[in-house]
Structure 1
Amino acid sequence: MATVKSPLPETAQKITGEALQGALVDLIDLSLVAKQAHWNITGRLFKQVHEHLDEVVDLAREYTDTVAERAVAIGTNPDGRSRTVADRTTLPQPDAGYIADDKVVALVTDTLAQIIGRFRERIAATDETDQVTQDLFIEITAALEKQHWMFSVQN
Protein backbone atom coordinates (compact mmCIF):
# COMPACT_ATOMS: atom_id res chain seq x y z
CA MET A 1 0.00 0.00 0.00
CA ALA A 2 1.31 3.43 -0.94
CA THR A 3 1.73 6.04 1.78
CA VAL A 4 2.65 9.71 1.69
CA LYS A 5 6.06 10.50 3.14
CA SER A 6 5.82 13.58 5.27
CA PRO A 7 7.91 16.60 4.35
CA LEU A 8 7.92 17.46 8.08
CA PRO A 9 9.98 16.02 10.91
CA GLU A 10 8.02 13.50 12.99
CA THR A 11 7.25 15.82 15.92
CA ALA A 12 6.17 18.65 13.63
CA GLN A 13 4.01 16.23 11.64
CA LYS A 14 2.29 15.04 14.82
CA ILE A 15 1.54 18.53 16.13
CA THR A 16 0.42 19.80 12.74
CA GLY A 17 -1.61 16.67 12.02
CA GLU A 18 -3.48 17.01 15.32
CA ALA A 19 -4.21 20.67 14.58
CA LEU A 20 -5.52 19.78 11.13
CA GLN A 21 -7.69 16.97 12.53
CA GLY A 22 -9.22 19.33 15.09
CA ALA A 23 -9.88 21.88 12.35
CA LEU A 24 -11.49 19.20 10.20
CA VAL A 25 -13.90 18.19 12.97
CA ASP A 26 -14.79 21.82 13.67
CA LEU A 27 -15.44 22.60 10.01
CA ILE A 28 -17.50 19.48 9.34
CA ASP A 29 -19.66 20.11 12.38
CA LEU A 30 -19.98 23.81 11.54
CA SER A 31 -21.44 22.84 8.17
CA LEU A 32 -23.88 20.46 9.88
CA VAL A 33 -24.93 22.94 12.57
CA ALA A 34 -25.45 25.70 10.00
CA LYS A 35 -27.43 23.43 7.67
CA GLN A 36 -29.64 22.19 10.51
CA ALA A 37 -30.38 25.81 11.45
CA HIS A 38 -30.91 26.67 7.76
CA TRP A 39 -33.64 24.05 7.45
CA ASN A 40 -35.46 24.95 10.66
CA ILE A 41 -35.22 28.72 11.06
CA THR A 42 -38.42 30.72 11.51
CA GLY A 43 -39.14 34.40 12.05
CA ARG A 44 -39.03 37.81 10.44
CA LEU A 45 -35.37 37.44 9.45
CA PHE A 46 -35.98 34.03 7.88
CA LYS A 47 -34.90 34.81 4.32
CA GLN A 48 -31.74 36.77 5.03
CA VAL A 49 -30.47 34.40 7.75
CA HIS A 50 -31.57 31.31 5.78
CA GLU A 51 -29.47 32.46 2.82
CA HIS A 52 -26.59 33.61 5.00
CA LEU A 53 -26.40 30.17 6.61
CA ASP A 54 -25.72 28.69 3.18
CA GLU A 55 -22.68 30.98 2.91
CA VAL A 56 -21.39 29.53 6.18
CA VAL A 57 -22.06 25.98 4.97
CA ASP A 58 -20.26 26.64 1.67
CA LEU A 59 -17.28 28.17 3.48
CA ALA A 60 -17.05 25.26 5.93
CA ARG A 61 -17.31 22.65 3.19
CA GLU A 62 -14.70 24.33 1.00
CA TYR A 63 -12.20 24.58 3.83
CA THR A 64 -13.01 21.06 5.06
CA ASP A 65 -11.66 19.70 1.81
CA THR A 66 -8.63 22.00 1.88
CA VAL A 67 -7.78 21.01 5.47
CA ALA A 68 -8.18 17.29 4.72
CA GLU A 69 -5.97 17.56 1.64
CA ARG A 70 -3.34 19.44 3.63
CA ALA A 71 -3.34 16.64 6.20
CA VAL A 72 -2.69 14.06 3.50
CA ALA A 73 0.03 16.26 1.99
CA ILE A 74 1.96 16.14 5.27
CA GLY A 75 1.47 12.38 5.59
CA THR A 76 -1.41 12.16 8.07
CA ASN A 77 -4.81 10.66 7.45
CA PRO A 78 -7.80 12.95 7.93
CA ASP A 79 -10.76 11.37 9.70
CA GLY A 80 -14.07 12.94 8.74
CA ARG A 81 -16.24 9.96 9.57
CA SER A 82 -19.55 10.80 11.23
CA ARG A 83 -18.64 8.81 14.35
CA THR A 84 -15.36 10.71 14.71
CA VAL A 85 -17.06 14.07 14.31
CA ALA A 86 -19.83 13.14 16.75
CA ASP A 87 -17.34 11.86 19.32
CA ARG A 88 -14.95 14.80 19.09
CA THR A 89 -17.08 17.86 18.46
CA THR A 90 -17.49 20.40 21.22
CA LEU A 91 -19.74 22.76 19.26
CA PRO A 92 -23.13 23.67 20.66
CA GLN A 93 -25.89 21.87 18.80
CA PRO A 94 -29.14 23.46 17.66
CA ASP A 95 -32.36 22.36 19.30
CA ALA A 96 -34.54 19.93 17.38
CA GLY A 97 -37.50 21.41 15.54
CA TYR A 98 -38.13 24.97 14.49
CA ILE A 99 -35.72 27.60 15.79
CA ALA A 100 -36.50 31.30 16.06
CA ASP A 101 -34.29 33.54 13.96
CA ASP A 102 -32.83 35.36 16.98
CA LYS A 103 -31.80 32.03 18.52
CA VAL A 104 -30.21 30.92 15.24
CA VAL A 105 -28.22 34.15 15.04
CA ALA A 106 -27.06 33.74 18.65
CA LEU A 107 -26.17 30.07 18.11
CA VAL A 108 -24.17 30.73 14.95
CA THR A 109 -22.43 33.75 16.50
CA ASP A 110 -21.40 31.70 19.54
CA THR A 111 -20.40 28.71 17.43
CA LEU A 112 -18.21 30.82 15.18
CA ALA A 113 -16.60 32.50 18.20
CA GLN A 114 -15.67 29.11 19.67
CA ILE A 115 -14.23 27.87 16.39
CA ILE A 116 -12.28 31.09 15.86
CA GLY A 117 -10.73 30.73 19.31
CA ARG A 118 -9.57 27.21 18.49
CA PHE A 119 -8.25 28.27 15.07
CA ARG A 120 -6.22 31.00 16.76
CA GLU A 121 -4.76 28.33 19.06
CA ARG A 122 -3.92 26.25 15.98
CA ILE A 123 -2.20 29.26 14.40
CA ALA A 124 0.03 29.50 17.47
CA ALA A 125 0.60 25.73 17.61
CA THR A 126 1.81 25.56 14.00
CA ASP A 127 4.05 28.64 14.14
CA GLU A 128 7.17 26.53 14.49
CA THR A 129 5.96 23.20 13.13
CA ASP A 130 4.56 24.13 9.71
CA GLN A 131 4.06 27.65 8.48
CA VAL A 132 2.26 26.43 5.35
CA THR A 133 -0.48 24.96 7.53
CA GLN A 134 -0.34 28.04 9.75
CA ASP A 135 -0.98 30.20 6.68
CA LEU A 136 -4.01 28.05 5.85
CA PHE A 137 -5.33 28.46 9.40
CA ILE A 138 -4.85 32.24 9.14
CA GLU A 139 -6.84 32.29 5.89
CA ILE A 140 -9.65 30.22 7.39
CA THR A 141 -9.72 32.32 10.55
CA ALA A 142 -10.11 35.51 8.50
CA ALA A 143 -13.07 33.99 6.64
CA LEU A 144 -14.67 32.76 9.88
CA GLU A 145 -14.16 36.14 11.54
CA LYS A 146 -15.93 37.86 8.65
CA GLN A 147 -18.91 35.53 9.11
CA HIS A 148 -18.83 36.06 12.88
CA TRP A 149 -18.93 39.81 12.38
CA MET A 150 -21.87 39.55 9.97
CA PHE A 151 -23.88 37.39 12.38
CA SER A 152 -22.94 39.27 15.53
CA VAL A 153 -24.29 42.60 14.28
CA GLN A 154 -27.72 40.98 13.92
CA ASN A 155 -27.99 40.34 17.70
Structure 2
Amino acid sequence: MATRQDIHYTTPGLSREQAERVIGLLQSRLHAMNDLHLTLKHVHWNVVGPHFIAVHEMIDPQVDAVRGFADDLAERIATLGGSPKGTPGSIVEERTWDDYSLGRAGTQEHLGALDLVYRGVVGSYRDGIAELDDLDLVTQDMFIGQTEQLELFHWFIRAHLEDQGGRLSTAGAKDEQDAARAAGRA
Protein backbone atom coordinates (compact mmCIF):
# COMPACT_ATOMS: atom_id res chain seq x y z
CA MET A 1 0.00 0.00 0.00
CA ALA A 2 1.22 3.50 -0.76
CA THR A 3 2.86 5.26 2.14
CA ARG A 4 1.71 8.65 3.34
CA GLN A 5 3.48 11.55 1.73
CA ASP A 6 3.79 15.20 2.60
CA ILE A 7 1.87 17.51 0.35
CA HIS A 8 2.49 21.23 0.24
CA TYR A 9 -0.77 22.27 -1.43
CA THR A 10 -3.81 20.72 -3.00
CA THR A 11 -6.49 21.70 -5.43
CA PRO A 12 -9.28 24.02 -4.22
CA GLY A 13 -12.22 22.18 -2.72
CA LEU A 14 -10.22 19.28 -1.27
CA SER A 15 -9.00 19.20 2.30
CA ARG A 16 -5.46 18.09 3.00
CA GLU A 17 -6.77 14.80 4.41
CA GLN A 18 -8.96 14.19 1.36
CA ALA A 19 -6.07 14.98 -0.99
CA GLU A 20 -3.75 12.60 0.89
CA ARG A 21 -6.27 9.76 0.56
CA VAL A 22 -6.91 10.48 -3.11
CA ILE A 23 -3.14 10.58 -3.73
CA GLY A 24 -2.87 7.20 -1.99
CA LEU A 25 -5.52 5.73 -4.29
CA LEU A 26 -3.83 7.27 -7.33
CA GLN A 27 -0.40 5.99 -6.26
CA SER A 28 -1.66 2.43 -5.82
CA ARG A 29 -3.15 2.55 -9.34
CA LEU A 30 0.08 4.09 -10.68
CA HIS A 31 2.02 1.15 -9.27
CA ALA A 32 -0.54 -1.23 -10.78
CA MET A 33 -0.35 0.39 -14.23
CA ASN A 34 3.46 0.43 -14.24
CA ASP A 35 3.44 -3.22 -13.22
CA LEU A 36 0.73 -4.10 -15.76
CA HIS A 37 2.46 -2.50 -18.73
CA LEU A 38 5.67 -4.37 -17.88
CA THR A 39 3.72 -7.61 -17.40
CA LEU A 40 1.95 -7.19 -20.73
CA LYS A 41 5.26 -6.52 -22.48
CA HIS A 42 6.72 -9.61 -20.78
CA VAL A 43 3.81 -11.67 -22.18
CA HIS A 44 4.33 -10.08 -25.61
CA TRP A 45 7.96 -11.27 -25.58
CA ASN A 46 7.31 -14.74 -24.12
CA VAL A 47 4.13 -15.98 -25.77
CA VAL A 48 4.45 -18.95 -28.16
CA GLY A 49 2.16 -21.32 -29.99
CA PRO A 50 -0.27 -21.52 -32.87
CA HIS A 51 -2.01 -18.23 -32.01
CA PHE A 52 1.24 -16.39 -31.34
CA ILE A 53 0.84 -13.54 -33.82
CA ALA A 54 -2.76 -12.76 -32.82
CA VAL A 55 -1.90 -12.53 -29.12
CA HIS A 56 1.46 -10.84 -29.77
CA GLU A 57 -0.25 -8.09 -31.79
CA MET A 58 -3.22 -7.80 -29.41
CA ILE A 59 -0.95 -7.01 -26.46
CA ASP A 60 1.00 -3.99 -27.78
CA PRO A 61 -1.96 -1.57 -27.99
CA GLN A 62 -2.80 -2.57 -24.42
CA VAL A 63 0.77 -1.77 -23.36
CA ASP A 64 0.58 1.66 -24.99
CA ALA A 65 -2.77 2.49 -23.39
CA VAL A 66 -1.69 1.33 -19.94
CA ARG A 67 1.50 3.43 -20.17
CA GLY A 68 -0.73 6.41 -20.94
CA PHE A 69 -2.89 5.59 -17.91
CA ALA A 70 0.23 5.63 -15.73
CA ASP A 71 1.19 9.06 -17.02
CA ASP A 72 -2.31 10.42 -16.36
CA LEU A 73 -2.30 9.02 -12.82
CA ALA A 74 1.14 10.49 -12.07
CA GLU A 75 0.11 13.89 -13.37
CA ARG A 76 -3.04 13.83 -11.23
CA ILE A 77 -0.91 13.06 -8.16
CA ALA A 78 1.25 16.10 -8.94
CA THR A 79 -1.85 18.23 -9.56
CA LEU A 80 -3.07 17.38 -6.06
CA GLY A 81 0.26 18.38 -4.53
CA GLY A 82 1.83 14.95 -4.25
CA SER A 83 4.99 13.48 -5.68
CA PRO A 84 4.33 10.44 -7.89
CA LYS A 85 6.59 7.46 -7.30
CA GLY A 86 7.49 5.46 -10.38
CA THR A 87 10.66 3.64 -9.42
CA PRO A 88 10.84 -0.16 -9.59
CA GLY A 89 11.74 -0.30 -5.90
CA SER A 90 8.64 1.65 -4.88
CA ILE A 91 6.43 -0.63 -6.96
CA VAL A 92 7.87 -3.77 -5.37
CA GLU A 93 7.85 -2.31 -1.86
CA GLU A 94 4.29 -1.00 -1.97
CA ARG A 95 2.37 -3.43 -4.19
CA THR A 96 -0.15 -5.82 -2.68
CA TRP A 97 0.14 -8.50 -5.37
CA ASP A 98 2.77 -11.04 -6.41
CA ASP A 99 4.99 -10.74 -9.46
CA TYR A 100 3.70 -12.31 -12.68
CA SER A 101 4.60 -15.98 -12.53
CA LEU A 102 4.84 -17.25 -16.13
CA GLY A 103 7.86 -17.14 -18.42
CA ARG A 104 7.87 -18.61 -21.91
CA ALA A 105 4.48 -20.28 -22.34
CA GLY A 106 1.74 -20.94 -24.83
CA THR A 107 -0.85 -18.38 -25.82
CA GLN A 108 -3.66 -19.99 -23.83
CA GLU A 109 -1.53 -20.29 -20.70
CA HIS A 110 -0.56 -16.61 -20.80
CA LEU A 111 -4.12 -15.55 -21.56
CA GLY A 112 -5.36 -17.65 -18.64
CA ALA A 113 -2.88 -15.98 -16.29
CA LEU A 114 -3.72 -12.52 -17.70
CA ASP A 115 -7.39 -13.19 -16.98
CA LEU A 116 -6.53 -13.28 -13.29
CA VAL A 117 -4.25 -10.25 -13.59
CA TYR A 118 -7.03 -8.22 -15.19
CA ARG A 119 -9.57 -9.45 -12.62
CA GLY A 120 -7.38 -8.04 -9.87
CA VAL A 121 -6.66 -4.75 -11.65
CA VAL A 122 -10.29 -4.09 -12.60
CA GLY A 123 -11.51 -5.06 -9.13
CA SER A 124 -9.11 -2.63 -7.44
CA TYR A 125 -10.15 0.15 -9.80
CA ARG A 126 -13.81 -0.49 -9.00
CA ASP A 127 -13.03 -0.35 -5.26
CA GLY A 128 -11.32 2.99 -5.85
CA ILE A 129 -14.28 4.29 -7.85
CA ALA A 130 -16.60 3.51 -4.94
CA GLU A 131 -14.35 5.25 -2.42
CA LEU A 132 -13.81 8.29 -4.64
CA ASP A 133 -17.55 8.90 -4.79
CA ASP A 134 -17.27 10.84 -1.53
CA LEU A 135 -13.73 12.20 -2.04
CA ASP A 136 -13.01 13.53 -5.51
CA LEU A 137 -15.27 13.22 -8.52
CA VAL A 138 -12.55 14.43 -10.91
CA THR A 139 -10.25 11.54 -9.95
CA GLN A 140 -13.24 9.21 -9.93
CA ASP A 141 -13.95 10.21 -13.54
CA MET A 142 -10.36 9.32 -14.46
CA PHE A 143 -10.71 5.94 -12.75
CA ILE A 144 -14.01 5.29 -14.56
CA GLY A 145 -12.49 6.08 -17.96
CA GLN A 146 -9.48 3.88 -17.34
CA THR A 147 -11.67 1.08 -15.99
CA GLU A 148 -13.77 1.13 -19.14
CA GLN A 149 -10.66 0.55 -21.25
CA LEU A 150 -9.23 -2.08 -18.88
CA GLU A 151 -12.54 -3.98 -18.96
CA LEU A 152 -12.43 -3.90 -22.75
CA PHE A 153 -8.87 -5.32 -22.73
CA HIS A 154 -10.00 -7.95 -20.23
CA TRP A 155 -12.80 -8.92 -22.58
CA PHE A 156 -10.27 -9.32 -25.42
CA ILE A 157 -8.34 -11.75 -23.19
CA ARG A 158 -11.42 -13.61 -21.97
CA ALA A 159 -12.82 -14.06 -25.49
CA HIS A 160 -9.91 -16.46 -26.11
CA LEU A 161 -10.79 -18.43 -22.98
CA GLU A 162 -14.54 -18.90 -23.47
CA ASP A 163 -16.30 -21.74 -25.18
CA GLN A 164 -19.42 -21.26 -27.30
CA GLY A 165 -21.62 -21.75 -24.25
CA GLY A 166 -19.92 -18.88 -22.44
CA ARG A 167 -18.00 -21.10 -20.02
CA LEU A 168 -14.64 -19.64 -19.06
CA SER A 169 -11.74 -22.10 -18.92
CA THR A 170 -10.25 -20.20 -15.97
CA ALA A 171 -13.41 -20.24 -13.85
CA GLY A 172 -12.50 -21.10 -10.28
CA ALA A 173 -8.74 -20.61 -10.78
CA LYS A 174 -7.02 -19.48 -7.58
CA ASP A 175 -3.76 -18.16 -9.01
CA GLU A 176 -1.99 -17.50 -12.31
CA GLN A 177 -0.44 -20.97 -12.50
CA ASP A 178 -3.81 -22.61 -11.90
CA ALA A 179 -5.45 -20.37 -14.53
CA ALA A 180 -2.64 -21.10 -17.00
CA ARG A 181 -3.04 -24.87 -16.53
CA ALA A 182 -6.83 -24.68 -16.88
CA ALA A 183 -6.61 -22.55 -20.03
CA GLY A 184 -3.96 -24.82 -21.51
CA ARG A 185 -6.18 -27.89 -21.03
CA ALA A 186 -9.24 -26.30 -22.64
Instruction: Name the TM-score, length of structure 2 as normaliser.
Output: 0.78
1:48 aligns with 2:45: no
Q: Which position in structure 1 is the counterpart of 2:113?
A: 107
Rounded to whole Å, the distance in 2 between the matches of 1:91 and 1:17 is: 23
> What is the alpha-carbon distance in structure 1 between the residues aligned to residue 53 and residue 155 of structure 2?
19
C-alpha separation in 2, matches of 1:40 and 1:110:
18
- Counterpart residue number, 2:75: 69
Secondary structure of 2:81's partner? coil
CA contact (8 A) 1:116 1:141 kept: yes
2:10 pairs with 1:6 = yes
Taking a change above 3 Å as real, the CA distance of residues 92 and 83 of structure 1, as seen in their structure-2 partners, is closer
| Contact 2:102 2:110 (C-alpha < 8 Å) held by counterparts | no
User: Residue deviations 1:2-27, cap 9 Å, x none?
Assistant: x8620121111011011000000000
Identical aligned residues as a percent? 29
Matches of 1:114 and 1:127, distance apart in 2? 20
- Cα RMSD after superposing both structures: 1.3
Matches of 2:71 and 2:8, distance apart in 1: 17
Gaps of 5+ in 2: 1-6, 162-186
CA distance in 2, matches of 1:48, 1:149: 15
Structure (1 or 2) with the greater helix fraction: 1
Q: 1:93 aligns with which of 89, 95, 100?
A: 100
Runs of 4+ in 1 over 4 A off after TM superposition: none
In the alignment, what sits opposite 1:16?
22
Kept in 2, the 8 Å contact 1:26–1:91? The answer is no
Check whether the contact 1:5–1:75 (CA below 8 A) recurs between aligned residues. Answer: yes
1:154 aligns with 2:160: yes
Which structure 1 residue ranges, 5 or more long, are not aligned?
none
Give 1:76 deviation, angstroms. Answer: 1.0
> What SS does structure 2 have at the residue aligned with 1:148?
helix
Q: 1:145 aligns with which of 130, 151, 155?
A: 151
Aligned-pair CA distance for 1:87: 2.0
Q: Return the TM-score normalized by structure 1.
A: 0.93
d(CA) in 2 for partners of 1:77, 1:10: 14
Q: Which amino acid aligns with 1:110?
A: L
> Matched residues in 1 for 2:22 and 2:117: separation?
23
- Point out the structure with max Rg over C-alpha: 2
Task: Judge conservation of contact 1:36–1:94 (CA < 8 Å) in 2.
Answer: no
The one-letter code of the counterpart of 1:27 is M
Number of residue pairs aligned between Structure 1 and Structure 2: 152
